Amino acid sequence: MKTVLITGCSSGFGLETVQYFLSRDWRVIATMRTRDEDLLPRSENLRVLALDVTDPESIRLAVAAAGPIDVLVNNAGIGILGVFETTAMATVREIFETNTFGTMALTQAVLPQFRERKAGVIVNVTSSVTLTPLPLLSVYTASKSAVTAFTQSLAFELEQFNIRVALIEPGRSPTRFSENAKPRMQGGIPDAYADFAESAFAGMGSPAGTAPLDVAQAIWRAVNDETSPMRIPAGADAIAMAEAS
């Protein structure tokens, strides 16, 4: 029985991916910043660990507690929605610490065991904004685009050790992104950007095209189908964007 470690499992894509892998008889190590087993299904094949991907000691403890794993899914991320001009650089760094540096740090922590065994899969969850950038998401897009570039280059380094690396690019989903992003809007939209923002928000009102299950299935494919492409869009809208790009 193989083991997968998944980050950001308290809701959305992470939670769905936990359920998907458990239903297919995998051992799952579900991680989240604040450990809460009540958020997850009951299973003898499930372990829940606290993990803050921005904290080196938390990463060290979680990787040690997890033991040998076959797959790492870097799903943890935070959002930000707003005008770049009024976004504090401390907030920009907060986004990159989780979305970009957290992904890189956890990947680095598990690589020694993958390299020694000459086996392993790393799946990084980014976003369809890397395919078609959207307004008011410049910092978020930058953080996810950095992960895309990191993953593409890393794949060349790790191929010699039989370690596969994949990108999942979800489209717009009815998850908690907007809810989690609101606290970082820092005073709302400046008057100078009001008309632009109103138009941008109207464009974001279209129905979501990606369900959490779409992402879980894309992750499953990346892990289990060695012929799958490195970049896998997840959801009808993301697939359409990928085809158009």
Q: What is the pLDDT of residues 141-190, one digit of tens each?
A: 999 999 999 999 999 999 999 999 999 999 987 655 555 555 555 557 88
pLDDT digits (tens, 9 = 90+) for 82-119: 899 999 999 999 999 999 999 999 999 999 999 999 99
Encoded amino acid at 41, one letter: P
CA distance 68 to 142: 32
**Residue 177: predicted pLDDT:** 56
Positions annotated as catalytic residues are 140
Q: Which CATH class is domain 3-244?
A: alpha beta
**Residue 97: predicted pLDDT:** 98
How would residue 244 be classed by pLDDT, with cut points 50, 70 and 90? confident
Domain boundaries, the chain: 3-244
The answer to whether 50 touches 35, Cβ cutoff 8 Å, is: yes
Greater confidence, 235 or 66?
Answer: 66
The structure tokens listed for 183 are 């606290």
Residue 229, phi then psi, degrees to nearest 5 = -70, 160
27 strand-pairing partners = 3
Q: Name the pTM for this structure.
A: 0.92
Q: Does residue 52 surpass a pLDDT of 70?
A: yes
- Would you give the end-to-end CA distance of the chain in angstroms? 38
Greater confidence, 193 or 69?
Answer: 69
Q: Does residue 28 surpass a pLDDT of 90?
A: yes
